[in-house]
Amino acid sequence: MVSCILMASGHSRRLGRDKLFVEYRGKTLLETTIERLVKAGLDEIIIVYRDRRALEIAERYSLVAVYNENSELGQSESIRLGIKSADANADGYMFSVVDQPFMEVQTVEDLLELFKKGEDKIVAPVCKGRRGNPVIFPTDLKGELLALEGDTGGKTVIENHLDRVNYLEVEELELFDIDRESDLDALNRRG
């Protein structure tokens, strides 16, 4: 079983507004991401949030929702809260972000399938040498994930275990993420 932790408590400082609620094709980026994860058949989806609007959306999809009262501490706090809320029988933790509108359901399914083939491996999407999200970590790395501090994500853990990473080649567009206003402009040009 894989517990998916949806990282939804960031501050979107580079964008200047909360990217969770940016609309694309009639839905917020948060709704688009949740629907993708639900369709991929994940065993458990936990959303770590800071804005009540995210909780309201999560409740519509019957997700486990965890409030991050210390979101200013960065990604490590979301990772910690998500892992501590995950099912004790989880074999792995998938960390998903909200700002990748072109990630395919099939890709999430393929990542899960690749993880099942080697549950002691980290699984990550990659394109032209660039790693992206979502990433699945086996539970034996739980201690290292919980020890992260500040605005540090799983990249540090991956770098410590490069010999344990299985990559899934994906289309470049799937790794497109929204961090700045220019990214939103590019998104809107795609219609």
**Structure confidence by residue, pLDDT tens digits, 52-73:** 999 999 999 999 999 999 998 9
Q: Rg of the Cα trace of the chain?
A: 15
Residue 48 has pLDDT above 80, yes or no: yes
Q: Which fold has domain 2-190?
A: Spore Coat Polysaccharide Biosynthesis Protein SpsA; Chain A (3.90.550)
Distance between CA atoms of residues 136 and 113, nearest Å? 11
Residue 25 has pLDDT above 80, yes or no: yes
Q: Which two tokens stand for residue 73?
A: 């501490």
Residue 184: per-residue pLDDT: 66
Chain centroid to CA 114:
17
Residue 173: per-residue pLDDT: 92
Give pTM, 2 decimals. Answer: 0.93
Q: Which residues of 46-70 are buried (b: 16+ CB within 10 A; e: fewer)?
A: bbbbbbeebbebbeeeebbbbbbee
Residue 87: per-residue pLDDT: 96
What mean pLDDT do residues 84-99 have? 96
Rounded percentage of the chain residues whose pLDDT exceeds 90: 77
Q: How confident is the model at residue 85 (pLDDT cuts 50, 70, 90)?
A: very high
Mean pLDDT, the chain, integer: 92
Q: Over the chain, what HEC string results?
A: CEEEEEEECCCCCCCCCCHHHCEECCEEHHHHHHHHHHHCCCCEEEEEECCHHHHHHHHHCCCEEEECCCHHHCHHHHHHHHHHHCCCCCCEEEEECCCCCCCCHHHHHHHHHHHHHCCCCEEEEEECCEECCCEEEEHHHHHHHHCCCCCCCCHHHHHHCHHHEEEEECCHHHHCCCCCHHHHHHHHHHC
Residue 14: per-residue pLDDT: 64
Q: Which two tokens stand for residue 142?
A: 């739980």
Cα–Cα distances (Å) from 176 to 3, 20, 43, 184, in that order, read 24, 15, 26, 11
Residue 17: per-residue pLDDT: 63
Roughly what angle, to the nearest 10 degrees, separates helices 29-39 and 52-60?
Answer: 30
The full set of domain ranges for the chain reads: 2-190
Residue 10: per-residue pLDDT: 79
